[in-house]
Amino acid sequence: MLKHKNAIVTGAGSGIGFAILSKFAENGANVWAFVHKQTSELEEQLNQIAQKNDVWIRPVEFDLMDEGTVKKSVKQVLSESGKVDILVNCAGIVNAKTLGMTSLDEMRQSMNANFFMPSLIMQLVSRKMMRQKSGNMINVISRAAPEYRPGAYAYGSSKMALLWGTKAAGRELAPYGIRVNGIAPGLTETKLGTGRQSEEDIERYVSANNIKRPAQPDEIADTVLYLASDMSSYVSGQIINCDGGRY
């Protein structure tokens, strides 16, 4: 489905990002795997996935909290020959506190990781995609964002900012043949998702969706694959809820 496409996937070292990377490779895409920390174990895993699927996977270290490393890593990729067909902004951080308990510094960190840096990456990558007159960007937002739940002040606000940015960028970049969409996952089995929650909280959460269980990262990655492929060629500026039918 993605044969000969080149993709940047951030947060590719774990959870949903790793599932997206694997799914892309299985479907023929080469991947620049943006990871927080490159370990020999991860490198070995990425090598195996690349060999198995006859694609290349290049790990690139970056830190969402350090604008300099974000610029450097993206510019390094953009300076390589060949196209950048797909960008997936998946890396993010969570902050589960109420307004009253969230410091300004924590709000800045959430905005930085979940809005400013994904926006900066879109900005830098869009320049190459505009020259190519083609491209596809997918931002991983969150189903929690528009729920305005107590105890997610900084996280929800930063993801809502990314939601707005996704729709606005979708409109601004469409004339250049670039599609920008978002996916809003519900609770997913990763360290950032179910990994932080008690059995009781998970039970309470899934009781308000049609499919009474959390998502597997693979299920989120399938929807991202759809958005990254030509199967969604007429989908632009949309946020797809992949949330098991949350109500």
Catalytic residue annotation: 155
Helix axis angle for 15-26 and 40-53, nearest 10°, is: 30
CB of 67 to ligand NAP, least distance (A): 11
The residues binding ligand NAP (CB under 6 A) are 11, 13-17, 36-37, 62-65, 90-93, 113, 140, 142, 185, 187-188, 190-193
Pick between residue 191 and residue 204 the one whose CB is nearest to ligand NAP.
191
Quickly list H helices, the chain.
Answer: 15-26, 40-53, 67-79, 104-111, 117-132, 153-173, 199-206, 217-228
CB of 81 to ligand NAP, least distance (A): 26
Provide the sign of the torsion angle of the four alpha carbons 197, 200, 201, 204, taken in this order: positive
Q: How far is CA 36 from CA 9, 64, 70, 91, 171, in A?
A: 12, 8, 11, 9, 30
Pick between residue 63 and residue 106 the one whose CB is nearest to ligand NAP.
63
Pick between residue 32 and residue 62 the one whose CB is nearest to ligand NAP.
62
CB of 103 to ligand NAP, least distance (A): 17
For residue 229 the two structure tokens come to: 């492929």
Pick between residue 42 and residue 130 the one whose CB is nearest to ligand NAP.
42
Q: Centre a 10 Å sphere on the Cβ of residue 195 and count the other Cβ atoms it contains.
A: 10
Report DSSP state, residue 33. E
CB of 176 to ligand NAP, least distance (A): 26
